[in-house]
Amino acid sequence: MSDYVIIRGNAAKLGKVESSLKVGNNARIEALEGNLVIVEGDAIFQGAAVLNCDFNCDSIQARRGGILRVRGNLVVHKKIDLDNTLQVDGTISAQEIDVGGKVFAKKIECKKIRVGGTVDSETLIAEQVDVGGKISVQGNVQVIDLGVGGRVTVGGGSISGNIRVGGNFQSREDLEFGDLQSFGRAEFLSEARGRKISTSGKVIAARDFQCQEIEVNGVTSIRGNCVTNKIIVNGKLMVDGNLSAVDVIEIYGTGIFQNRVISNDLRLGGRLRAPTVGITGTADIAGSLETTEGLRANLIRVTGGSRCTGPLLGDRIEIGKSKIIVANWNKKWFGQTIALRLVGRMTRVEDVYGKEVFLGSSSQSRKVYGEIVEVGKCAVAEQVTYTKELKGSASSGRFSKPSQKVSRLPEHTF
């Protein structure tokens, strides 16, 4: 059967076309009855066209530019392939969409969409989205993989796979995401839950933020609570609420926290400031720790040259013992840099409460309380109080007040 042809600039009323349809530039199509036109074959457009109806076809091709305007819903069983712009008042439904310019629609449903310029829609449902310019979805998205060269704005919903954004990313409502990598600014105006986020730019979370793995290379500000398994900060992290990490917190830059910090392990190679820090495992300090109520951990190791403000509480506490702890950190080169930076500096801490306490050489402490206290050469302390044993020669340390053995140590909790 031969193709049905609409001549350039003409208008046609169609019902069901049992063949392919060829449409000339600036043609117009309307429905013969009702509001639906069905083309059993391909629809081939030679330029701009206006479809004043719902349009259903096998595939669409348009190679000579212009705007394809559909004043209704567009259903394509296979692929939409346009050089320029597709504008649909209703829903676009297709297996694959490939548009060189822009796509506008109330709702888009497809497996794969690739657009060179802009996508603007109220709702987007797709498996794979690849946009060279920017994408704006006022409502919810349901997407697996998303790649955008410029800006992304979504209302909320789910992007469950990989997200790669060259510019800025913003979600306005609650969002669940997979692996998000942003090179510009990522902004979450409502609650967000994800698998991984890595950014070299700026991240702003206006409310609670949950993500299994967080890597901050730029600046991140979380104005609610933050819950994660692992967080690595090479830039600056600020959290107004509580920070809870199941596995580890690594800070090589700056972490400023307005409330409690909780984790299994802490590796500090930069600066951390918080009211309280609670660590169930090991806290390695090779930088600056500032607390008002203190740090509690099972094992606390303060590398030579580090600074700790606020009390230290732990089963074993080592002050200024070694710089070797940084060698086993995941960011080894950071550890080497930190070790070099601390060479020649005195280790300074305030009050220390531990079962076993070691005061290394060139360390300075305030009051030290422990069951067993070992004092290295030239260690300085205001006073050492112990219950079982004080190790080290009489000339090992320098105390402002004489050391004393007691039957019971004072309690200190937070």
Quote the Cα angle for 225-231-235, to 5°: 95
Residue 140 is predicted with a pLDDT of: 95
- Domains in the chain, number: 2
Task: Report the Cα 262 to chain-centroid distance in Å.
Answer: 19
pLDDT given at position 321: 74
- Other CB atoms within a 10 A radius of the CB of residue 153 amount to 16
Specify the pLDDT at position 201. Answer: 85
pLDDT along the chain (414 residues), means of 10: 91 96 96 96 96 98 89 98 96 97 97 96 97 95 95 96 92 96 91 93 94 92 97 94 97 96 97 97 97 97 95 96 53 46 73 95 92 90 93 74 90 66
Residue 261 placed within a domain: no
343 is a domain residue: yes
Residue 287 lies in a domain: yes
Beta carbons of 146 and 136 less than 8 angstroms apart: no
Q: Which of 113, 141, 175 is the last residue of a domain?
A: 113
Question: Which residues are within 8 A (CB) of 393 and not within 5 positions of it... i.e. 6 or more apart?
Answer: none
Tokens 């422990």 locate to 370
Contact (Cβ atoms closer than 8 angstroms) between residue 271 and residue 291: no
For residue 118, tell me if it sits in a domain: no
344 within some domain:
yes
In a domain, residue 179? The reply is no
In angstroms, rounded to a whole number, what is the distance separating the alpha carbons of residues 22 and 41?
Answer: 10
Domain boundary pick from 78, 113, 148: 113
Query: What pLDDT, on a 0 to 100 scale, did the predictor assign at position 327?
Result: 43
CA–CA dist 65, 307 (Å, integer): 66
pTM, rounded to two decimals: 0.86
Round to whole Å and give the CA distance between 297 and 292.
Answer: 16
Domain with 60 in it: 1-113
Q: What would the two tokens of residue 115 be?
A: 């657009």
**Looking at the domain assignment, is residue 199 inside a domain?**
no
Residue 369 is assigned to a structural domain of this protein = yes
Determine contact, residues 309/260, Cβ cutoff 8 Å: no
Report pLDDT digits (tens) over 193-243.
999 998 888 899 999 999 999 998 889 999 999 999 999 999 999 999 999
Tell me which of 65, 85, 113 is where a domain ends. 113
∠ Cα 122 125 131 (to 5°): 80
In angstroms, the Cα distances linking 292 to 239, 243, 258, 285, 383 are 16, 16, 11, 16, 21
Task: Compute how many other C-beta atoms are within 10 angstroms of the C-beta atom of residue 11.
Answer: 11
Taking CA atoms, 150 is separated from 52, 158, 294, in Å, by 33, 20, 44
The DSSP output letter for 116 is S
